[in-house]
Amino acid sequence: MIDVSTLTISNTHKHLTEGDFSVRELCQSYLDIIEKENPQIHAYLEVFDDVLAHADTAQARIDAKTHSILTGIPIAVKDNILIQGKKVSAASKILENYRATYNSTVASLLENEGVIFLGRTNMDEFAMGSSTQTSAYGITRNPLDTDRVPGGSSGGSAAAIAMNGALAALGSDTAGSVRQPASFCGCVGLKTTYGSVSRFGLIAMGSSLDQIGPLTKTVTDAEILFNTLRAHDVHDSQSISDVLYASTRDQKKISKKLTIGVPRHLLETEGLDQVVRANFDASVEKLISLGYEIKDITLPHIHYSLPTYYILMPGEVSSNLARFDGVKFGLLKEGDMLLEDYKKTRGLGFGKEVRRRILLGTYVLSTGYYDAYYNKAQNARHLITQDFVDGFKTVDSIITPTAPTPAFKIGEKTSDPIQMYLEDIFTVPANIAGIPALSVPSGFAEVEGKQLPLGLQFMSPPCREDILFSVGKDFLGEENA
């Protein structure tokens, strides 16, 4: 028996190269756990039937010494990232049984390294949600307390790690959809710099906000995956060139200890749980004890982030989801005429939350309202981004809690969309500004006799994921090379 609870990408690579166990044995261990745990947790929508065949191929690479650190590593993939020939539904009925006709760039990069894709994980439908309760295929439960949500929209990916059903996972982050589930499930989640990881082959939600990122057990593992995924891609018009990325990172080398900015005015946010506040204060003290300089800063316009997001995002959703009409792919419900086809297909294919955001987005983009809403939101976005530009002139990283609460109970917030949207209050500014952000486990809250994980979020300037990895590893006590 392989104790997968102790495995990371780093030590698994060492075990595989030293022959402590084979890739097939490793993958079988994960498949056994998934078979046992997934019926209750529902982290996976599908486990791929070619896992062991790919395991044997990876083993041959290891035996021939043509492998990399990721060869043979079992990874889960969110159900909105295309893997050629595999089903991909974005957890929506409108794409039920649709199979990807091409590879996403991230899938190709990982396949080249010999990664084993275990299966596709559950998510909020079209990544619209913060709890993985809007999936058309059923909710996902938090493995640490099955009465509670795992977060969203990448809740299935985070739950897969928390139940030891994957060594790492891919998610997508539009307003916190990697970081908030990481916080709720006690793992590490990275939102990458906008343009650093290709979005080609990611089913779009909000194109100016979406980013693919890893969920892992350690910061080191997140760094390993990021170093493979970060690459210029001609298929993504917003992809950052390798030269620009390298030059940005070289502008300022990491000093021994960094200056951490604390926007304390954000901690007065309505709905911030006192146990989260206490944990954040303790995390600040820990950083001080580690030798970091703590500096209070002000981000004057950041309180506009959530309303700005809920104008920009629905507008982009309305545009992006217009392609799903049943004509070329996906669900088709026929009516008496073409318009009836559209109405039936989209009415039955899209869930309630998706329809809500499409309608809102269509409204803010409509004639007479575009300037009043969408253009003003773009102006607010510029101000928020400038706040971060100014803030990073005096500090190297900015910290906040990842989420305002620990994991909440299933069904607790579904009747009040505004309360659900407030879960993104600390994470959405990074997406608005396009900067990288990292959530790391920061402790636990005792709630109704259960120990629920909490997360601390670090943000850094664009292309400075190296800062996040350095301070994140230091905070968690990982070896920092």
Annotated active-site residue in 22, 29, 78, 305? 78
Annotated active-site residue in 29, 153, 318, 470? 153
Residue of 395, 383, 212, 360 lying closest to 287 (CA atoms)? 395
CA distance 202 to 418: 27
Annotated active-site residue in 135, 172, 177, 239? 177
Residue of 119, 124, 127, 129 lying closest to 163 (CA atoms)? 119
Catalytic-residue membership of 286:
no
DSSP letters spanning 419-442: HHHGGGTTTHHHHHHT--EEEEEE
Residue 36 has φ and ψ, to the nearest 5°, of: -80, -45
Catalytic-residue membership of 198:
no
Q: Is the dihedral of CA 338, 356, 132, 117 positive or negative?
A: positive
User: Nearest 5 degrees, angle CA 169-CA 173-CA 179?
Assistant: 70
The encoded tokens of residue 46 equal 């599908």
Catalytic-residue membership of 78:
yes
The DSSP output letter for 323 is G
Q: Is the dihedral of CA 236, 240, 243, 245 positive or negative?
A: negative
CA distance 113 to 30: 20
Instruction: Give the 3-state secondary structure of residue 73.
Output: coil
Residue of 466, 463, 456, 465 lying closest to 287 (CA atoms)? 456
Q: Which residues are CB-contacts of 160 (< 8 A; sequence separation ≥ 6)? A: 34, 43, 44, 76, 118, 121, 166, 169
Give the active site residues. Answer: 78, 153, 177
